[in-house]
Structures are given as C-alpha cells and as structure tokens.
Structure 1
C-alpha cells in the first residue's frame, strides 16, 4: 500500500494525515505547540516547535499507526500564512517567528504606502497590511537592526519545516504572494518594491510551484523521524490555498467559506482580477491559477470568546441549540465580530466589536444567535463584493466550525441566499496538502480526477425565501454599523492604550 502525508502546520498545532491512493485518510496524528504573546498585538512562535511537533506526529504514525516508512511515497505541506522566519548565513534561526496575527507593524504598513503609493497594489494586487510578511520584515529592520544585519534568508513557516526535512530553501508561489514582495504579474520577486524599501533581493529564496519536487528526505532527518530517504517532498501551499484544494475549489463555480479562528471567503479568479487590495489576491496551489479571499479576523474566535466569557460550562452544540430556539434577527440584536480588528472589507486594526440593540427581553440564546448571525453577515459583506464585481458562483462550500452544525449551515444558506454544502470527509488544508503530494507523484492526470477521489460533498442546504427576506432586512442594518461605530471604537482604544 502506498501513502502520501499531508502536513498541516497551523497556529496552535500541526496535524499530519496519511492518505492512500483512493483518497482515504488511513491515520492521523497531531501535536500542539505554544503561542507566545509577549506584548499586546504581538504573536510569535519558535520555529523549532514546528519541526519537533511535525516529527513527533510522524514518529507516532510509524510507531502507533504502523505505517511502513517505505510505503510513504510523498509528503507535502499546508502552512499558516505570512509568518516571518529569519535565518542567518548558517541557516540558524535569528529570532522567534512573527505570525500572521501579529499587528505590531502598523507604522511600517503606512511607510510602504508612503514610499510606493498605488504602485504597490499594481505590483502585488494587495495592500501592505500589518499581518503580511513585508511590513514585519521592515519592523525588524527598524527595531532590531543587529538581527536584521545577520539575515541571509527569509522563509515562511511551512518552508522552514520543509527545509529541515530536505535541506533545500524555497518558497512556493501561493505563500510568496502573501509576503507582498512578489510581482504577481511577472511571477518574480519584485525588484521595484525591494529596491524602494532598501531590502536585498537575495534574502528571498527560489520560487517553486506547489507540486514541484523539492528533494528527498535527508539522511539526518530520516534518522530521527523514521522516514525513508526514498520519500519525495513537494512544495506545498499556503493554508488557504491548500484548504481550497481540500474542499475541491479548483474552478470558479464555487466559493469556499471557512470558519476557524479567523474566517475566510475564497474564490478562484482569473489573473486579470483586481480588487484594489480590498480582497487579497493570491497564487493558488494549482499552477497558473489564482484566487481572491476576504478575511474576517475573529470568526470562530468571536464564538469562542463568547463561550469562554459568558457560558464556559456549555458545549458548542449547546450554544447552537440555544440559538436555534430564538427568532431570526435575535430579537433585534446585532453583533459585529470586530473584536480583534478587521481585515475585509474594512482594513482597520483598531475597530472593535459591538452589540447593537440590547434589550431587556433578550436571552442568552438571542446573544448567541446574534454572534452566529454577525459572523455570517461579515462573510456576506465579502460575498457582496464578488456580486458587485459580477463574479458569479453557484454554490458555497462551508468548512470549519460553521460546517459542524446543521443549524449554522442553514443559517448561512439563508443569509447568503445561495446553496451551501459541507464536506463528508472534511480535513481542509491537511487533505489539500496530501492532494498536492499525490499530484506531484503523478498519481492522477489532472486536478478534477484527484478531487473526485479525495473530496466528498454532503447535504446541500437550500436558502428558504421567507428567511432570506428577513435576513436581508437585518443585514441592511448590520452593514451600517462599521461606519456608525468606527470613530467611537478608535477613541475608546486610544483611551485604553493611554491608561494601560
């Protein structure tokens, strides 16, 4: 029996899935690692924790799940995006990695805009948001100059793990786009951007496609992981690109909605698309394909925050059951999920969330329902951008936390006014990583054949016209809350910072 391993390197844990040629996941192992937040707005990890966690998971697949190393033909990756990993000339780590959800680089974001203006969006098709890699690199340059002088190579999280397994330095195009140092039109590192910001282009490693063969497992990594040196390693992809592949989003007829800590709405796009940075534009994990995505920073995080703060003894199933008992619109209560700032369609790190319409008759269930509805309204904000730009789609594929509840799936169909389906075998980015390895090995002739083997769709939830009409009225109010509260949120945050 032959297998591929899909390594899903997340923010809180790594999960490694072993998949056979029929697309069946035969075994999985995971390992958690810590997140360090030394100051407000900071988010860091030790890259060695990723390597150790990945290795432990692989060792357990071999020892506990009895996978034979010689049967593992290929490995590929899905990785948390935008994280800044810095290596010196000896390939040693210079500082903890600065992660995607780190917001310290707001000043550098504005510096990039001041220097490059509209040219930046023309070259990258994105805005230089604080969460992206380039502003983080400038932050290190300005705040840790002694470390910056030692930098020889810039990598992203999964690329460091792949380097440790193969000894080869590279970044695949889907993750390179998210650094906002890539000229998307030319498919090369942007000399114009890097020269304008006085960054040496030699810090950027070679570019590869997601399915490109990088190398075999090295003998040193084989010696402590148990893998065979005959195992082939392929480039891998950014987690959203890999998640889209794992959800079967390989053409423009579907949209993916992913509810994790953050939330993502993603759609494949022609290269000519340009949303002027309101939506992110990225290379797909499929060569010569592209996708756009809008991000809600606190999707599942909002529900988790509410549970942790107000109903810690309730399960998530109990929360959705309470919400299902309440009417559409939560008795006139609207929640905006901006509790850690927002990215799309409002690139505003200082906006904060609101409950609007609090009334003495409302219950716990109303508050829970308003949180679920508010998260889903935030996705509708992004879907509206597609519709306003005549980017049509026939179905929404929902993955993550929102796909585990039939109530929430129906709520999505009604708010989006579109059919919504979930996945029977949802494994998201990890499955996508395994599919990349399978395609790299040549197991399948094309992506549609691969999707047919790996991806299984579940029940389709159809929008209910009466509910759609009601939600449209509440959404029209929700859509006004950002503009109405932004100034107040900014003032409150300034006071909080001043008095902390």
Structure 2
C-alpha cells in the first residue's frame, strides 16, 4: 500500500494527514502554535514554530505507523496565504513572519495606489491593494525597518518556508504568488512593472513553480528529525483556498465552493484569466495548472450565527438553537438581517458598516430571528455569486461545506437563494485533502486532479432550487442589498459611540 501526506499549515495550527490510494485518511495529527500580537492590528508568528510543530506531527504519525513510513511516496502542502517571511543571503529568517490578518499596512496600500494607479494595479495583478496581501507588508518593512530590509535577499510565504526547511529548495507556487500583489496573474510571471514602480528588485521574488511541481526529496536532516524517509518526494503545494477548491472538487467550469466558517468564502472555478470583475472579488491562480478561481468573502458568516446564539441562547447547542427554522416561512415573516458585525469585505470593502435587523415586529419570535440570520448570511454570500454571474461566469453547481452544510434547512435555503444545485460532501477535510491530492497527482497516481477528485471525493446529497422560493428570495435579496446603502451614513455617524 502506498501513501501520501497532506500538510495544512494554518494560522493557529498545522494539520498533517496520511492518506492512502483510496482517498481515505489513515492517520492525522495536529499541533498548535501561538500568535505574536505586540500591538493592536499586529499579527506575527515565529516561522520556526511551523517547522518544529510539523516535525512533531510527522513524528506522531511515523511512530504510530512505523511500517507505513517507507511507503509514503509524496508530501505536499496547503498554507495560510499572504504571510511575509524574509530571508537573508544565507536563507536565515530576518524577523517574525507578518501574517495575512495583520492590518498595519493601510498607508502602504495607499502608497501602492499612488505609485501604480488603480487601473494599472488591476491590469497587472487582477486584485486591489488590501492590508492582508504580501506586497504592503514588504513595503512596511522597507519603510519602518530599513536595516532589516537591506539584508533581505528573498521573501517566501509560510508554507514555502516550511517546504524549504524540508528540502533546502526555494520556490513559490502560482496560487500563493497570486496573493502577493507582485504576480502577473495572466502571464504567470513576477511583475517587473510592479517592482519598478515600488522600488523593489524583482530578484527578491523566489522561483515560480506549479502546485503539483516536484521540488526535491526530504533532506537527510529533516528525515532524521521527522521520521520521514529521504525517498519521499516533495511537491510544491498551494494556497489554502486553492487547496480547499481541489479538496472539494472545484475543478471544472460552473462549479463553485461555498464555505461557511467564522467568515464565509464563495470560490468559483475559472478556466480563463481575461474576465473583468473590476477588483470587486479576488482573482487568483488555481492549484490546477493554467486555471484560476474567483473569490468573494463575507467577514462575519458563521460568526453572525454564533454571536446571536451566544447573546440570546448561550447554554443551548447549535442543533437545538436552529431546529425550528424550518417552520418559519421564506423571508422570516418580514425580518431581514445584514451580517456586518465586523464590517464587510465583498462587495463592500467597508470597515465601518455594522449589522442591522430590519422589520422587527412584536409578533416575531426567536426562531424568526434565527431564520433571518441564516438568510442574511446567505444573501451576503449571494452578492459574490451575483458579481461572478454579472462578469460572465456560469454557476450551476455549488459545493457547500462548513457550518452551512450541517443543517438541512440551510442547505435548501442556499439552493433557493443561489438558484443553483447545492451539493453536500461525504467528508469535509478541505485544504488538507487538496494538498494530499497534489502529492498523489505529482506522484503519478492519477492523470489529472479531476480524475483524483472523482476517485476520492463523494457527494452524498444534492439540493435543487425550489422555483417558488427562488422568486420570493429574488425580491428579498433586492431589499437586502438596499439596506447597506440606507444604513451606511447612519453607521458612520454612530461610530464615535462604539466601545
């Protein structure tokens, strides 16, 4: 029996999965690590933590499955996007990594627009300048820590540094490079125009590689410290969202992922790089070669539901809390919720806007509010789908994972609001499975990632849109979209009174 390993390097923990040729998880191990938050808005990590905790997780798997280690053919990675790891000429880390959720770089985002221009930025990179991206972080170090920046020879993203420590080879895959604001998404090359405009030497960018590309074998040192074999091949891997798309089978045109966790993501497969969404959604290279994905984000998706439960039903479990929503009609008896608890990302990049309940009536019961929260979250996600469709994309099949896939009524609601077939998967391992699939494909187990997905992934239930509900939700969605415009100025006026 042969195996592959998928390493999912997240923000709070690394998860390592050992998988066989049937796509079954044979063993998994997870190790957590801390954030470094010295100031408000700062979020950093020690890259050595990623390396040591990955070794520990691999040791756990190797110790409990010693006879399997020699049969691990390949390893690949999924990684948190956008984080900045700066290395000197000797490839030593110069400072703690600045993570994707670090927000200190508002000034640097303005600097990018001033130096490049909004139109040129979208032309070169397909994405707007946001604090989470890597380029603003590089410019922040250049401006605020010049002595460190002078020593910088190359930058990597988190999983690329982990892979470097495993193999001694420096690379970055296209799906992660797309989140730096330095990659020409269409040409799949580092952008000389971006580097020149911002005074950066393009040589600071590492060599590029496909996500399934072979990097090298596990080094002698890392093998001894982790329990792996030096015969194990290492493949580049991809960004967490790209690997999540692979791990849920978003590999053909028309297929879309709806992932509802604390935040919500709508991610859609795109075979072309020439659609124009005006920067309203992210446009990144896929983990599949010569493919792309578009992505919209709802900042407080599952968080909106957990907030409401914690405030009004703290002692209840979620299954009890939502059990009556199926008895509430479409539209929650005239109650609409906008899930802007912490601001919003798509389609409104607005840090000031806050949530609203519209239409509260003395006849409303708690179950009406719960239904309204579920509908509001789904409406917000539908705004991303609407942008995709208006941009020329076909969206007819949506795979739902996360909290939104744990309730039958919510799954049907998604089918009705999105007006598309919604699929529920048998297993929801997401990015880790995607990383393992890249290793399996790289090892030659399958002729394509799509073939691997057909073998490994299983849809257990589908939900078709109900025509009557679809028509009602179209009208409610129109009202929902008006709420933002009607409450924007009000939120700006009351902002000074917030804690």
Pairwise TM-score range, normalised by the shorter structure: over 0.9
The answer for the alignment partner of 2:374 in structure 1 is 372
**1:256-304 Cα distance to aligned partner (Å, 9 max, x none):** 1111232211112212222121111111111111111111222223333
Alpha carbons of 1:494 and 1:125: their partners in 2 closer, same or farther (altered >3 Å)?
farther
Q: How does 1:480-499 map to 2 (within 5 A)?
A: 480-493=482-495, 496=498
The answer for the alignment partner of 1:289 in structure 2 is 291
Unaligned runs of 5+ in 1: none
Alpha carbons of 1:43 and 1:478: their partners in 2 closer, same or farther (altered >3 Å)?
farther
Structure 1 position 420, deviation (Å): 0.4
User: TM-score, structure 1 length as denominator?
Assistant: 0.94
Bigger shift: 217-226 or 146-155?
A: 146-155
SS in 2 for 1:68: helix
**1:417-473 Cα distance to aligned partner (Å, 9 max, x none):** 211011112211111111100111111112332111111112001112222233223
| Separation in 2, partners of 1:444, 1:163 | 26
Bigger shift: 121-130 or 54-63?
A: 54-63
The answer for the alignment partner of 1:383 in structure 2 is 385
Q: CA RMSD in A?
A: 1.9
Unaligned runs of 5+ in 2: none
The answer for the alignment partner of 1:11 in structure 2 is 11
| Separation in 2, partners of 1:308, 1:79 | 31
Structure 1 position 65, deviation (Å): 4.7
| Equivalent position to 2:365, from 363, 366, 377 | 363
| Separation in 2, partners of 1:167, 1:336 | 48
Bigger shift: 28-37 or 444-453?
A: 28-37
| Separation in 2, partners of 1:90, 1:10 | 26
The answer for the alignment partner of 1:22 in structure 2 is 22
The answer for the alignment partner of 2:141 in structure 1 is 140
2:62 matched to 1:62? yes
| Separation in 2, partners of 1:98, 1:31 | 20
| Separation in 2, partners of 1:404, 1:45 | 32
Alpha carbons of 1:229 and 1:94: their partners in 2 closer, same or farther (altered >3 Å)?
same
2:157 matched to 1:171? no
Alpha carbons of 1:494 and 1:135: their partners in 2 closer, same or farther (altered >3 Å)?
farther
Alpha carbons of 1:487 and 1:312: their partners in 2 closer, same or farther (altered >3 Å)?
same
**1:39-81 Cα distance to aligned partner (Å, 9 max, x none):** 3333332222222222222112122355622111100011111
Partners of 1:274 and 1:281 within 8 A in 2? no
| Separation in 2, partners of 1:404, 1:33 | 28
The answer for the alignment partner of 1:350 in structure 2 is 352
**1:203-252 Cα distance to aligned partner (Å, 9 max, x none):** 21111110111111111111111111111100001111111111111110
Partners of 1:12 and 1:33 within 8 A in 2? yes
Structure 1 position 322, deviation (Å): 4.3
| Separation in 2, partners of 1:76, 1:100 | 21
Q: How does 1:178-197 map to 2 (within 5 A)?
A: 178-197=179-198
**1:339-383 Cα distance to aligned partner (Å, 9 max, x none):** 232221112233333333334443333333222211111111011
| Separation in 2, partners of 1:310, 1:138 | 44
User: TM-score, structure 2 length as denominator?
Assistant: 0.94
Alpha carbons of 1:258 and 1:222: their partners in 2 closer, same or farther (altered >3 Å)?
same
The answer for the alignment partner of 2:129 in structure 1 is 128
| Separation in 2, partners of 1:35, 1:493 | 29
| Separation in 2, partners of 1:161, 1:312 | 40
Partners of 2:245 and 2:251 within 8 A in 1? yes
| Separation in 1, partners of 2:256, 2:227 | 39
**1:309-354 Cα distance to aligned partner (Å, 9 max, x none):** 4433222222322444433323333222222322211122333333
Bigger shift: 398-407 or 141-150?
A: 141-150
**1:130-178 Cα distance to aligned partner (Å, 9 max, x none):** 2111112222222333332332221111111111111111110000011
Partners of 2:215 and 2:234 within 8 A in 1? yes
Partners of 1:80 and 1:239 within 8 A in 2? yes
The answer for the alignment partner of 2:466 in structure 1 is 464
2:43 matched to 1:43? yes
